[in-house]
Amino acid sequence: MRIVYFGSGEFAVPTLRALANTAHDVVAVITQPSRPSGRGRKLTPTPTAEWGAKLELPVIEAQNVNDPELVNRIRGLAARLGVVVAFGQKLGRELITSMRCGCVNVHASLLPKYRGAAPINWAILNGELKTGVTVFRLTDRIDAGEILVQRQTMICEDETAGELHDRLARIGPDAIKAALEMFEQDDEPRGYEQDATEVSVAPKLTKESGLLDFRYPATVLVRQVRAMSPWPGARGLFCSASGSHREEVTFVGVRAVERPGEVVNRAPGTLTDLYEVVTGQGTLELHVVKPAGGRAMAWQDFVNGRHVQPEDRFETISAS
């Protein structure tokens, strides 16, 4: 089967690699343009572009994937199907229909739950026990097309968004393989419509998404720490009781501690001892933190280096 592959991010790489090792013919890899990165601001191709080149596939960087000239070029490839994974641009109808069977998309949630840009983060943030990947037909509406294939997996108790992202990316190839088998039998394989009553959205994260509010329960804050790793990071402002030291800190490894019946008469954010922070319900046990501009370190090392004392505290950082 002749396939045009649309992908940019790391999530798209395992599926591209898997397709390149099948009998299917990936006739082009369409990706976002190279962008400046690093201290030297060197132009860097997307992870998908890098792998496309390694696999010796034709790579096309698209500033606007719906540009008529590019659409005509893709139409000329006579592809049977487009496969879209973490691409980053919306495909218009002219482009979708330029391929004989249209396009399918691999999405990192069990649709119709968590349509949008950050499904992995929001699944963790909301305390979901399971998630997965969905292969669906691409339509004009975002993440709303007919479902062809789903693969489920449980979310591990301490799993971060970054870890779950990588695991779901490795599940993607199996899901797309099953979808392609459907197209080998029929140009119009039947899936099923999404249940509109079950729709939820997963909007794009911002830097403010990681600001911790210690009035929330410890269990909620733990989920926020996991959901915001690696970006934007769950952050609070460390403040010494004397007022002499204030420092932004990213929480990396934490645990919720609940002691039924215990009453803590201290304000949320206060250190009860050297290792636990008062929250709206329970305490947050600190294991690993990352000072602004520094590397991740054991909380004990932070305690020793900053001479942390009980009654020092964490404050919520004001949104800019």
Q: Tell me the per-residue pLDDT of 301-320, one tens digit each, with 9 for 90 and over.
A: 999 999 999 899 999 999 87
Architecture of the domain spanning 2-198: 3-Layer(aba) Sandwich (3.40)
Is the predicted pLDDT of residue 100 greater than 80, yes or no? yes
Look at 61-65, 132-136, 147-151, 187-191 and tell me which has the smallest mean pLDDT.
187-191
Res. 261 pLDDT band, cuts 50 70 90? confident
Res. 99 pLDDT band, cuts 50 70 90? very high
CATH 3.10.25.10 in the chain, residues?
Answer: 207-315
SS (H, E, C) the chain: CEEEEEECCHHHHHHHHHHHCCCCEEEEEEECCCEEECCCCEEECCHHHHHHHHCCCCEEECCCCCCHHHHHHHHCCCCCEEEEECCCCCCCHHHHCCCCCCEEEEECCCCCCCECCCHHHHHHHCCCCEEEEEEEECCCCCCCCCEEEEEEEECCCCCCHHHHHHHHHHHHHHHHHHHHHHHHHCCCCCCECCCHHHCCECCCCCHHHHECCCCCEHHHHHHHHHHCCCCCCEEEEEECCCCCCEEEEEEEEEEEECCCCCCCCCCCCEECCCCEEECCECEEEEEEEEECCCCCEEHHHHHHHHCCCCCCEEECCCCC
Please provide the CATH number assigned to the domain covering 207-315: 3.10.25.10
CB 99 within 8 A of CB 19: no
Q: Give the C-alpha separation, 209 to 206, whole Å.
A: 5
Predicted local confidence at residue 216, as pLDDT? 97
Predicted local confidence at residue 9, as pLDDT? 97
Is the predicted pLDDT of residue 204 greater than 80, yes or no? yes
Res. 273 pLDDT band, cuts 50 70 90? confident
Predicted local confidence at residue 81, as pLDDT? 98
Is the predicted pLDDT of residue 11 greater than 80, yes or no? yes
Q: What is the mean pLDDT of residues 254-281?
A: 90
Is the predicted pLDDT of residue 295 greater than 90, yes or no? yes
- Per-residue tokens: 40: 């030297």
68-83 per-position pLDDT tens digit: 999 999 999 999 999 9
Is the predicted pLDDT of residue 40 greater than 80, yes or no? no
Q: What is the mean pLDDT of residues 251-269?
A: 88
Predicted local confidence at residue 319, as pLDDT? 87
Is the predicted pLDDT of residue 163 greater than 80, yes or no? yes
Q: Give the C-alpha separation, 41 to 49, whole Å.
A: 18
Q: Give the C-alpha separation, 133 to 149, whole Å.
A: 8
Predicted local confidence at residue 238, as pLDDT? 98
Res. 264 pLDDT band, cuts 50 70 90? confident
Distances (CA, A) of 181 to 24, 49, 127, 187: 11, 26, 34, 11
Distances (CA, A) of 21 to 25, 77, 150: 10, 20, 22
> pTM value?
0.96
CATH 3.40.50.170 in the chain, residues?
Answer: 2-198
Is the predicted pLDDT of residue 7 greater than 90, yes or no? yes
Q: What is the mean pLDDT of residues 112-118?
A: 98
Q: What is the mean pLDDT of residues 23-29?
A: 97
* Angle formed at CA 73 by CA 76 and CA 5, multiple of 5 degrees: 90
173-189 per-position pLDDT tens digit: 999 999 999 999 999 99
Res. 89 pLDDT band, cuts 50 70 90? very high
Amino acid type, 118: A
Predicted local confidence at residue 247, as pLDDT? 97
Predicted local confidence at residue 265, as pLDDT? 83
